[in-house]
Amino acid sequence: MGGAPAPSTGGSVVRSALPCWIGLDVGTSACRAVAIDAEARELANARVALPAPQVRPDGGVEQAPDLWWNAAVTALARLGEALAGRRSVAVCVAATSATLLLADRNGVPLGPALLYNDRRARAAAARIAAVAPPTSPARGVTSGLAKALHLKASLPIGTEAWVLHQADWLAARLGGALGYSDWNNALKLGFDPAAERWPDWFEALDLAPLRLPEVVAPGTPLGRVDRATAAATGLAVGTRVVAGTTDSTAAVIATGVAEPGEGVTCLGSTLVVKVLAERRIDEPACGVYSHRLGDLWLAGGASNSGGVVLRRFFDDADLARLSAQLVPERPSGLDYYPLPGPGERFPLADPDLLPRLTPRPEDDVLFLQGLLEGIAAIERAGYRRLHVLGAPAPTVVTTIGGGAGNAAWTRIRARELGIPVRPAAHREAAYGAALLARRAG
């Protein structure tokens, strides 16, 4: 690893084989790899589980970066076995936002990575809050910047260290230049993707001897795979390594949304709503911030509601059986605000908001419909909140996440939102990363 980004031409590759482009999605529980062809058709995929992170009583959540690398190598090798006769042209890594580590001048980690939900950087977050603008995504105890300052405190005096995100470090291991990040991963580290620079208020934080990465657009070429890495992963020698993005942004790229006013809802454990906008929108008080996508901005927020509430009452078999009996066009008349416990972050920012899950009817079909309608109402309120803040009202909503395949819920949401609602043809972050790799050539 190391050195400046490689130029976009050159490299020793076998030209006779059919080309493919590779996307990696490395999270905290698994690594996924996807290969696509020139028409963006998925050719093969692989998944490798990761050991669970270490959760500490003080709020720490840690993972050894070498676990990511080992999983990535295994996933790529398995992918390669299914790609006989194909030559990898480029590879891109999507990974968890605000998962961060420090590394030495050679890219060797100086300790475990702090995961996105590590909450130990309270003192650092207070320092940031004293100097950062109210709208900065770098504010908060789980921000990348707070984690960097927290880790700095444990460095031996005078020790220089690169501040790297999960995707940054893995791209460097694959052959990209060390010390580079992208607009989306660097957002919670404090980078201003509109001005494309680090903010002036950083001077008040005394970051030295930490070395901040140079930040480039997702998909920017950073280097090429060498022979040793090719032998370990099955990637072709000379495969271009390009700058990555966050996993949630890659999942949106996978859907193919491209025009202002197109919305994306993720129906996972939590409910996340995003909409493409022509201007940047940040409102940290209610968890709203924007990722840059080319010349557009992906503004969004996440509710505490979502699938986690459904799982309190029903398992997969129950959900499938009961959903088949729903009558989406006939409202239940129930007025639920489904939350897993007290507190909401978006579209309402109220840490004391109580769940509203009563009265519960004896009929489980009616109860499930009430829950689904309640989550759909929160979705509608989320898009309205984004609109009030300056985003366009959604004209169509594409759905990703586990709930995207529930046809009855889709009809409930379309009724609630009053616009077309459709499941995404592609929803995997690894597929979105592969699209970024393909755009790089």
DSSP character at residue 69: H
Higher model confidence: residue 183 or residue 28? Answer: 183
Mean pLDDT of 80-97: 94
Where do the domains of the chain lie?
A: 18-249+430-439, 257-425
Q: What is the pLDDT of residues 312-368, one digit of tens each?
A: 999 999 999 999 999 999 999 999 999 999 999 999 989 899 999 999 999 999 999
Burial call 160-173: b when 16+ CB within 10 Å, e when fewer: ebbbbbbbbbbbbb
Is the four-CA dihedral 415, 349, 299, 423 of positive or negative sign? negative
Quote the DSSP letter at residue 314.
-
pLDDT value, residue 13 = 40
pLDDT tens for residues 19-75? Answer: 999 999 998 889 999 999 999 999 999 999 999 999 999 999 999 999 999 999 999
Q: How far is CA 208 from the centre of its chain?
A: 28
pLDDT of 157 > 90? The answer is: no
Q: What pLDDT is stored for residue 16 in this prediction?
A: 57
Contact 376, 416 (CB under 8 A): yes
Q: What's the pLDDT score for residue 14?
A: 43
Q: Answer whether 18-249+430-439 and 257-425 agree in fold.
A: yes
Beta bridge partners of 263: 275, 397
DSSP single-letter state for residue 236 = P
22 with 431: CB under 8 angstroms?
Answer: no
Residue 41's contacts (CB-CB under 8 Å, 6 or more residues apart) are none
Does the pLDDT value for residue 113 go beyond 90? yes
Assigned token pair, 339: 């939350």
CATH number for the segment(s) 18-249+430-439: 3.30.420.40
Mean pLDDT of the chain: 94
Residue 240 pLDDT > 50? yes
Average pLDDT over residues 170-197: 97
Residue 435: how many other CB atoms lie within 10 Å? 20
**pLDDT tens digits, 184-199:** 999 999 999 999 999 9
What's the pLDDT score for residue 338?
A: 97
Q: Which pLDDT tens digit goes with each residue over 118-151?
A: 999 999 999 999 999 998 999 999 999 999 999 9
* % of the chain residues with pLDDT over 70: 96
Pick the CATH number of 257-425 from 3.30.420.40, 3.30.750.24, 2.40.50.140, 3.30.1540.10: 3.30.420.40
